[in-house]
Amino acid sequence: MEHLRPHPTQVSERENIQYKFQFKRKTDKYLFAFDPHNYCDIEIFNIQKRKTQVYSGLRTALKYSEIPVIFFLCYDVGYREYEEMGRVFVRHVVCCLKKDNYIYFFDMRNLSDISKSMKETLEKEISTFCSVPCKLVNLSCSRALQCRYLQRFKGDDEMGWCIAWGMYFLDYLTDHPEFADTEDHELRKAFNDFYVFTDEKLSTNKSNRFIEKYYMHLLLN
């Protein structure tokens, strides 16, 4: 199936940052620790072995904020071969919510697909900037979904749409400011229900059009 265009990587980073910032207008129940110059607010180089880079505003928020913090995290996936582009080093972006001592991680994969210790690596790096160690909750691996990959219909030669997925989950969080005052077990139930809803949408069409249409809608509004 032909994919919709432009792909998020064909849109300038500055423009994608602007779309991301627009969601801040919807609620003041979260602290949006967004870097105005980088789509990633914290960059972890788990494969490249470089020092973690974190936006100064996020660094302060993780340590001192008394309200939940939303930020975007990037990590290394590794080299992939694409028919049109050849061998490309791929990085991935994920929308995250820090509330209390939990990092709710709105990813679309089992982190062990990257490496067996990937979850622990992310926890350790993020906790470096928090006042106390934090526990990462990978929401794509709820019991109901069994770590289903939300990009499984994108096609082997198609670059991922994680930039759009990040905004999709950011949109969801900002639609629900009540989550800022919700207990952990209720949050996990709500997030699980939303993943099930999203996964069923994908399964019905067996295509990547769901997230492609969502991103096109952002561009046109």
pLDDT tops 80 at residue 4: yes
Residue-level pLDDT at 144:
66
Report the alpha-carbon distance of residue 202 to residue 213 in Å, rounded.
12
Calculate what percentage of the chain has a pLDDT beyond 70. 99
The mean per-residue pLDDT over the stretch 67-79 comes to 95
**Non-local CB neighbours of 8 within 8 Å, separated by 6+ positions:** 16, 161, 162, 163, 164, 215
Confidence of residue 145 (pLDDT cuts 50, 70, 90): low
Confidence band of 149 (pLDDT split at 50, 70, 90): confident
Q: Decide: 55 and 42 in contact? Cβ < 8 Å.
A: yes
Predicted local confidence at residue 181, as pLDDT: 97
When pLDDT is averaged across residues 12-27 and rounded to a whole number, the result is 96
pLDDT at residue 34 in the model: 98
Residue 33 in this model has a pLDDT that exceeds 80:
yes
In this predicted model, what pLDDT tens digit does every residue of 93-122 receive, in sequence order?
999 999 999 999 999 888 888 888 999 999
Chain-centroid distance of CA 100 in Å reads 19
Give the pTM. Answer: 0.95
Q: Report the DSSP beta bridge partners of residue 71.
A: 96
Tens of pLDDT along 154-197?
887 788 899 999 999 999 999 999 999 999 999 999 999 999 99
pLDDT for 143 beyond 80: no
Q: Is the pLDDT at 70 greater than 70, yes or no?
A: yes
Extended strands (E) in 9-85: 31-32, 42-45, 50-54, 69-82
| 205 C-beta neighbours (distance < 10 Å), count | 11
pLDDT value at residue 113: 83
Q: Residue 147 pLDDT > 80, yes or no? A: yes
